[in-house]
Structure 1
Amino acid sequence: MNSRQHSVPTQHSPAHSPAHSGPPSGLASGLQPGLQPGPRPSTAGAGRGPTAPALYGPDLDGDSLPAFYEELRREYGPVAPVTIAPGIGAWLVLGHSELLRLTREEQDFSHDPRRWTLLREGRVPPESPIMPMVGWRPALLFTDGQQHRRMRTAVSDAIARINGHELRRSVRAMAEALIASFADRREADLVPHYARKLPLQVIIGLLGLDDRTGQQLVQGIAGVVAANADSVNAGKRMDALLTALIKEKRRRPGEDITSSLLNHPAGLTDEEVLHNLVVMFVAGQQTTVNWIATTLRVLLCDPAFRSSLTRGHLTVDDALDLVLWRDPPTQNFPARYATRDLVFGGQRVRAGDMLLLGLAAANQDPEILPADGAPVIGNRSHLAFGAGPHTCPAQDPARLITRTAVDTIRHRLPDMELAVPESDLAWITSPWTKGLAALPVRFGEPLLPHGSEERAPGNR
């Protein structure tokens, strides 16, 4: 495991911190072979120094992000300065042990963005595309200590009320209906026609939404995660839809997560329920879509893995875990804020600096991977769901949904194959998530159960 030393606090005042002398030449113009830079103190991550490497833009997609992380690691070490929007700097935590410390030690790293220096100084425009992701909300993701425990108890209890057996049967039925809706064509794009629709239908039911509102909510999520000019408006549309849902559930509660949150002994206000639903929906929908699609890609593009799965040497859960190690659905997650000046991962971090959870990069930290480069199978010590008190509370139902989705389609379409060369597959562009833009497949005669055609979405 990691042999890097723990970070130690510094006693310097912010006014006398050594400034970074300039952006490293490797990342400014493409890292050159043979460079051996090491971590160095820098204030670029706090937005006070020169421009740091950009963690956004059309050139950073799922294909280029892994190499980008490794360039950052070679240049800076386990903690690297980045910009997440024009003029807005942060630290990206790339090291496995550093990320564990970041998520576990709330006394040094708070979840409350109101501590963020750039925000307090008015240097983050309200219309910035990152604000829907990092702006403060009265939700468990943005709180510490007792307030976090209060909200997390309500959310965890609401999730715990989900009946796993019923959920599995429901997901399988929805999956078979979706497959039936495109089975006659003998081809489909599994991202929009399957991976995106299935979690939507499941989450709509769990939250107590109707289909139309659920579709609008997913469009809002896509706008927020894209981190573009429409992200702020997308966030407002999402809030308005959920506000209407809460009013409806106050009048007519049901057997759903929204009603459970509203009636929990923790006494969440309507505003707290709203923003915890936002966190759950944003974190759950796109992540599950990406997890399903990327796992299907592994099965379609890795004949050896698919053969091992067919013969029973590996399981669908092994494929799910392989994806969580190599291509976690959430690449980077906001955020923590330093509560004091300290040296962390070889960098001088100041109180009020933002630090991002580099989940994908930490999973590929050479300090914790097998020395022979073998894939990590049967090991769930990855950080795809975070760590510490804020570990994702919904990872069990997310796994159940994803496993059922993958297992159902591989049994119903046993001869399914990729319809384009693997090199033609493209990823969406986002600083936060890693998901396929499309996954076109073709297949022969489907093996569908009787009656699935009638359950297809277009025939209900």
Structure 2
Amino acid sequence: MARIGLSEGEPAPEWARRYPAHASGAIRLYGEEFHRDPAAVYWRLRSEHGPVAPVLVDGAVPAWLVLDYREFGQVLENPAHYTRDSAAWNSWDLIPADWPLIPMITKRNTAWFLTGDEHHRRVSVLADGLGSVDPFELRTASERVADALIDAFADQGKADLIAEYAELLPLRVTTALLGIPPVDSAAIVADLAVVVNGGPDAVAANLRLRAGLQAQVTARREHPRFDVLSRLVAHPVRLGDGELLEELQTVFAIVHQATSAWIGNTLRLMLGDARFATTILGGRRSVGEAMAEVLWEDPPGATLTGRWTVGRRMLGQYFLEAGDLLLLSIAAANTDPKIRPGREIIHRNQAHLAYGYGEHRCPLAGQEIGEAIAETAVQVLLDRLPDVELALPIEQLLWRPSLWLRSLMDLPVVFTPAGP
């Protein structure tokens, strides 16, 4: 286990002074060893520190990781004690301007970060708009997009089900439901992928993305249609263009990351785990069972972004100072032995934290849309390619090196090519 001690790239002296619990032996939540088996890291942290552990994130920056189910809820149920406002961090003066986690934890003008009345105002618009989606229309659109994507590689006998399928399908379905014309949605999907994945073109892509979404909002204000975007624009709450753009971009990012990862992780399980893979050709176990297991074992959103302590308080076995940074591990809390003795999976049990918790829990309409898209994507692919199998052993599949997202780098498969 890679550790950071006083002689091995430890926090700078000022970090060590402010965070004495982190000064010697805090475990890194980045690097090859962590990303290869994060579950083992969480188990070790829990055994050594209990429900809350001192950890280091990118750049050897100290944080507290909430590991256990009870403390997870305690933090999210008490916004007066654990604020969502990143301005409360007591260590901004030590953070360089190019620190890579700034975009993930810095407060933005969106429901994902807002709290109280303003949060509920934004969420009411999203919940009403997403709740108006017709389930039949959603399934039909998902099947149509799935078939089109499979058609593109069906005659090749091989595919990467992440890049060629899972990452594209949810975004295309979402743009269709919003009512964005195909000629415009292609550019929006492409730019969003660049923004989410980062890189030197991300800033320019983000500008194009916002301009493209703004054009769609303007068009609906001038000429309303019978689509979800028109309902969002015309909602009685009347979000301004800037507010609506922020919410649309957040929705797209969540769809792109969470739903895509859910599809990929479920396909990995069904194709690579003997409990599922050996029954694909006859009486296969339920796709729903595999999807539920993923939400417990490999939840797409592995870690929730920051909360900050308001005043000095005790959490777990540690006293946290005012303004300390907390991260909340969904993946760890889902395996808390106090709620899952023996680590058994209960497929109908919805007590997992994959949808979040408390005020910022994913709205029910969003949960239902994500589930319908993911389930349809997996079912259509297995129906269209009945002999599909992994192109390499499941243990050789690589996970993305991310603290926040549990998703595969790629998912290579082989199958009998479609005939002429």
Q: Is the 8 A contact 1:203 1:285 kept in 2?
A: no
Is 1:263–2:234 an aligned residue pair?
yes
3-state DSSP of counterpart to 1:356? strand
Could you tell me which of 56, 73, 87 is aligned with 2:30? 56
3-state DSSP of counterpart to 2:344? coil
Q: Is the 8 A contact 1:45 1:82 kept in 2?
A: no
Which whole-Å CA distance do the structure 1 matches of 2:52 and 2:201 have between them? 30
Structure 1 range deviating more: 311-320 or 94-103: 311-320
The answer for the alignment partner of 2:87 in structure 1 is: 114
Shift of 1:245: 4.2
Post-superposition Cα deviations, 1:211-232, rounded to whole Å, max 9, x if no partner, equal: 1122111211122xxxx78877
Shift of 1:445: 5.5
Shift of 1:99: 0.7
Give the fraction of aligned pairs with identical amino acids, expressed as a percent.
36
Is 1:404–2:361 an aligned residue pair?
no
Shift of 1:116: 2.3
Structure 1 range deviating more: 381-390 or 206-215: 206-215
The answer for the alignment partner of 2:187 in structure 1 is: 212
Structure 1 range deviating more: 248-257 or 278-287: 248-257
Which whole-Å CA distance do the structure 2 matches of 1:297 and 1:424 have between them? 11
Q: Is the 8 A contact 1:132 1:232 kept in 2?
A: no
Letter in 2 for 1:106: P
Unmatched segments (≥5 aa) in structure 1: 1-24, 30-42, 448-452, 454-460
Residue 245 to residue 84, structure 1, CA distance change in 2 (3 Å): farther
The answer for the alignment partner of 1:363 in structure 2 is: 334
Could you tell me which of 329, 335, 346 is aligned with 2:300? 329
Which residues of 2 match residues 372-383 of structure 1 at below 5 A?
Answer: 373-383=343-353
3-state DSSP of counterpart to 2:112? helix
Unmatched segments (≥5 aa) in structure 2: 6-14
The answer for the alignment partner of 1:3 in structure 2 is: none
Which whole-Å CA distance do the structure 2 matches of 1:340 and 1:53 have between them? 25
Structure 1 range deviating more: 175-184 or 297-306: 297-306
The answer for the alignment partner of 1:95 in structure 2 is: 68
Shift of 1:246: 3.6
Matched residues, number? 403
Could you tell me which of 437, 454, 459 is aligned with 2:409? 437
Which whole-Å CA distance do the structure 2 matches of 1:183 and 1:45 have between them? 59
Residue 132 to residue 66, structure 1, CA distance change in 2 (3 Å): same
Residue 109 to residue 255, structure 1, CA distance change in 2 (3 Å): farther
Shift of 1:83: 2.4
Shift of 1:235: 5.7
Which whole-Å CA distance do the structure 2 matches of 1:320 and 1:123 have between them? 41
The answer for the alignment partner of 2:145 in structure 1 is: 174
Residue 26 to residue 55, structure 1, CA distance change in 2 (3 Å): closer
3-state DSSP of counterpart to 1:142? coil
Letter in 2 for 1:375: I
Shift of 1:420: 1.4
The answer for the alignment partner of 1:127 in structure 2 is: 98
Letter in 1 for 2:108: R
Which whole-Å CA distance do the structure 1 matches of 2:17 and 2:298 have between them? 25
Residue 213 to residue 230, structure 1, CA distance change in 2 (3 Å): closer
Is 1:295–2:259 an aligned residue pair?
no
Shift of 1:318: 1.1
Which whole-Å CA distance do the structure 1 matches of 2:18 and 2:209 have between them? 30
The answer for the alignment partner of 1:77 in structure 2 is: 50
The answer for the alignment partner of 2:356 in structure 1 is: 386
Which whole-Å CA distance do the structure 2 matches of 1:383 and 1:174 have between them? 29
Shift of 1:243: 4.2
Shift of 1:415: 1.1
Could you tell me which of 274, 284, 290 is aligned with 1:319? 290
